[in-house]
Structure 1
Amino acid sequence: MTEFSRTIIKWYQSNKRDLPWRKTSDPYQIWISEVILQQTQVIQGLNYYYRFLNFFPDVATLANANQQQVLKAWQGLGYYSRARNLHQAAQQVMLQFDGKIPDSKKDLLKLKGIGPYTAAAIASMAFNLPHAAIDGNAYRLLSRYFNIHTPIDTTEGKKQFETLGNQLITQNHPGDFNQAIMDLGATICLPTSPKCSDCPLYLNCQAAHNGQTINLPVKSKKTKRTRRFFNYLIILTGQEVYLTLRQSGDIWQDMYQFPLIEDTRLLSIAQLKKRLNWSYDNQRLIKKDQDIRHQLTHQELHIRFFYIITEHKSSIPSVINEQKIQFYNHDEVSHLPVPKIISDKLNHIFPKLIT
């Protein structure tokens, strides 16, 4: 065992976070936790972890569910491709692996949505196999300790860090090794303002002593975000609201939303009326709500909501009808998967619908 490995495991044994998936070797529960934590902090993901397992306690239950049920259980976590991949992978397990989650990294990689990091994490924690799980925490910790400037978003960088991790990982306690790096990266070796004085690796950390900590790890590219402008129409009649299903090939696919006019800008009320070419004989445009800016990994959404009260489910502009809209009442809405920005509005609307 190297000095690096010995130090972080000793630290982990005294400082590890008390998390439910660390009290089991069940590969299904470990898998669910890893997928949730890919884009979610532990403190936020914990309740979702319990909720998801309550809906789908084992791989067979998940495989037999329909996609709408899975998306609904995932609602609020974002990055919904994770939920769709989990669902498809569970079906793969049932069909290709006789209902048992594979016990090798090679076979785990065959499952939809499981990449090298997740496969290594499951293999090490559930099956005690010595595969280093290289995620953002590992890149940060290893690059700083060994003062590595190879960009982590290149093929060369990924290979270099994976090789290094596999050289360092302990054969007897590979799960503890990977989780020690996760906890050190999440609580001590932070992206900004790292707590170097509290780090057990400080004495031998090259970046800390060379003044390079804040410059590592290195990325060769900056994430570029596309700006999009969503003008949502919240159309209410009585105790019902119009919703439409988003199609595949875009964000939030197979989830429900209000009728949408996507434009090169956020529209004013006057611009909206002109765009809709809608006779307002039986409708009232009530108000334009507060705008929202919503950041995704590769997109920046600028969102505006318009409230429309209508007395009749007729004379709807063609630009809305083309979206295959349908009225839903409160009970129906409660079973539909919707993005968080839509659910926030729905939760506000239904307790006090304007009639």
Structure 2
Amino acid sequence: MSADQTADLRTALLAWFDRQGRDLPWRQGPEGRRDPYRAWVAEVLLQQTQVARGLGYYHNFLTAFPSVQDLAAAPLDDVLKAWEGCGYYARARNLHRAAQVIAQQGFPEAYGGWLALPGVGPYTAAALSSLTLNEACAVNDGNVRRVLARLHAEPQPTPRWVQAQADALLDPARPGAWNEAVMDLGATICTPKSPQCGACPLSPWCAGRASAQPTAYPAPKARPVVQEVRAVAVLIGTPQQAVLEQRAGGLLGGLWGLPTQPYDPARPGAQAQALRDLCARLPATPGPLLGEVTHAMTHRRVIWQVYAATGGPHPTDVRGAPLSRLDHKALSLAQARADSLFT
């Protein structure tokens, strides 16, 4: 693409963005000088959450923690509770850790400073440095990958290739607006299955549209096999007052939930043995099966057999504890079972 073509393409996309860019709460403030706290929370939240769902979580999180100092000073349990239901809880744990760094040192003043914070990778660092510091850093995410693959009719865009194309097209005068424009285009016009090529400001330069098969670019990725994970869980107490244990590990680490024990369904008697082992650990006495709950998590399908149990540690109030969706489902199941006994 010639220099003149690149200039015309930039002008067309930014003019479209100025007219039709999404009106989002974290986009308030001068271009290239956005509020770093609001922009940072939004970028982390939207890493694994679509904008439509993320808006509610964003407002709730900022209501709970209006400033980075409030976030830094809050107990981790409160942060996880505010993040509850959003998933990928490592994001919340890293936000909390990074807030404590920022409260002491101030917000970063360059790409490298953002990249050094817990939980901030190259994409987020590029986005934040362009949005809050007007630094000429091009972002590389799924929307950018799709737009550039179609623009160049590239079926197999590697991360290095995408970054090189993004760097070449980035408007150095308006890097933050350019990054948001490409992402908005991918989210609203150049969508995965039904691109609106007739409404696209890049259509005059798009090789994918010229091919009459824009959805062929990029070629579909092979989907990972969904792993099924089974476990038994026990409810000691009531859906309001129950024995909880704190989770460990990267997926749900820091959250609280019902005691559980995984098992291999291919082994005869494994479920019954898992229940005995779990109750022996607490210690508690197993009771009747309350039912089954299922939840999709990343590339896993988690299935719990939920049992009542007696004995064990003293139950606590579950309402203030940060719980996973799976635990909420299990408690709702138990509540429905209890309600049915009195109707």
Deviations 1:232-276 (A, max 9, x none): 2223359632221112x3421121111212111299999537852
Q: Distance in 2 between matches of 1:304 and 1:266?
A: 15
Residues 239 and 335, structure 2, Cα contact 8 Å, conserved in 1 = no
Q: Residue 39 of structure 1: CA displacement?
A: 0.6
Name the count of aligned residue pairs: 327
Q: Is 1:64–2:73 an aligned residue pair? A: yes
What amino acid maps onto 2:86 in structure 1? L
Q: Distance in 2 between matches of 1:239 and 1:103?
A: 47
Q: Distance in 1 between matches of 2:147 and 2:238?
A: 55
Task: Quickly say closer, same or farther: Cα 1:269–1:289, change in 2 above 3 A.
Answer: farther
Q: Residue 184 of structure 1: CA displacement?
A: 0.9
Q: Which residue, 83, 92, 116 being the options, matches 2:92?
A: 83
Which residue in 1 is equivalent to 2:3? Answer: none
Q: Distance in 2 between matches of 1:51 and 1:335?
A: 15
Show structure 1 runs of 4+ deviating over 4 A.
Answer: 218-222, 266-271, 347-355
Residues 239 and 332, structure 2, Cα contact 8 Å, conserved in 1 = no
Residues 242 and 259, structure 1, Cα contact 8 Å, conserved in 2 = yes
Query: SS in structure 2 opposite 1:227?
Result: strand
Which residue in 1 is equivalent to 2:9? Answer: 4
Mapping for residues 190-339 of structure 1, pairs under 5 Å: 190-218=191-219, 222-236=223-237, 240-247=241-248, 249-265=249-265, 271-272=271-272, 275-276=275-276, 285-292=287-294, 294-297=295-298, 299-308=299-308, 310=310, 313=311, 326-328=314-316, 332-339=317-324
Q: Residue 23 of structure 1: CA displacement?
A: 1.0
Which has the larger displacement, 114-123 or 159-168? 159-168
Residues 103 and 127, structure 1, Cα contact 8 Å, conserved in 2 = yes
Q: Distance in 2 between matches of 1:72 and 1:274?
A: 29
Percent of counterpart pairs with the same letter? 34
Query: SS in structure 2 opposite 1:143?
Result: helix
Output the TM-score relative to the length of structure 2. Answer: 0.85
Which has the larger displacement, 7-16 or 35-44? 7-16
Q: What root-mean-square deviation, in Å, do the aligned CA atoms of Structure 1 and Structure 2 show?
A: 3.0
Deviations 1:292-316 (A, max 9, x none): 1x3333x412313324164xx3xx5
Q: Is 1:169–2:170 an aligned residue pair? A: yes
What amino acid maps onto 1:113 in structure 2? G
Q: Is 1:51–2:42 an aligned residue pair? A: no
Q: Is 1:21–2:26 an aligned residue pair? A: yes
Q: Is 1:124–2:124 an aligned residue pair? A: no
Query: SS in structure 1 opposite 2:243?
Result: strand
Task: Quickly say closer, same or farther: Cα 1:221–1:351, change in 2 above 3 A.
Answer: closer
Which residue in 1 is equivalent to 2:154? Answer: 148
What amino acid maps onto 1:334 in structure 2? R
Q: Residue 186 of structure 1: CA displacement?
A: 0.7
Task: Quickly say closer, same or farther: Cα 1:237–1:101, change in 2 above 3 A.
Answer: closer
Q: Distance in 2 between matches of 1:42 and 1:123?
A: 21
Q: Distance in 2 between matches of 1:216 and 1:266?
A: 41
Which residue in 2 is equivalent to 1:36? Answer: 45
Query: SS in structure 2 opposite 1:2?
Result: helix
Q: Distance in 1 between matches of 2:62 and 2:240?
A: 33
Task: Quickly say closer, same or farther: Cα 1:290–1:160, change in 2 above 3 A.
Answer: same
Q: Distance in 2 between matches of 1:180 and 1:225?
A: 34
Give the unaligned 5+ runs of structure 1.
152-156, 317-324
Query: SS in structure 1 opposite 2:88?
Result: coil
Which residue in 2 is equivalent to 1:343? Answer: 328
Task: Quickly say closer, same or farther: Cα 1:244–1:326, change in 2 above 3 A.
Answer: farther
What amino acid maps onto 2:331 in structure 1? L
Residues 229 and 266, structure 1, Cα contact 8 Å, conserved in 2 = no
Q: Distance in 2 between matches of 1:335 and 1:27?
A: 30
Task: Quickly say closer, same or farther: Cα 1:238–1:141, change in 2 above 3 A.
Answer: closer
Q: Distance in 1 between matches of 2:304 and 2:88?
A: 21
Q: Distance in 2 between matches of 1:195 and 1:87?
A: 40
Residues 232 and 275, structure 2, Cα contact 8 Å, conserved in 1 = no
Q: Distance in 2 between matches of 1:263 and 1:274?
A: 6
Task: Quickly say closer, same or farther: Cα 1:111–1:285, change in 2 above 3 A.
Answer: same
Output the TM-score relative to the length of structure 1. Answer: 0.82
Deviations 1:112-169 (A, max 9, x none): 1111111111111112222111111000001111122344xxxxx2222222212211
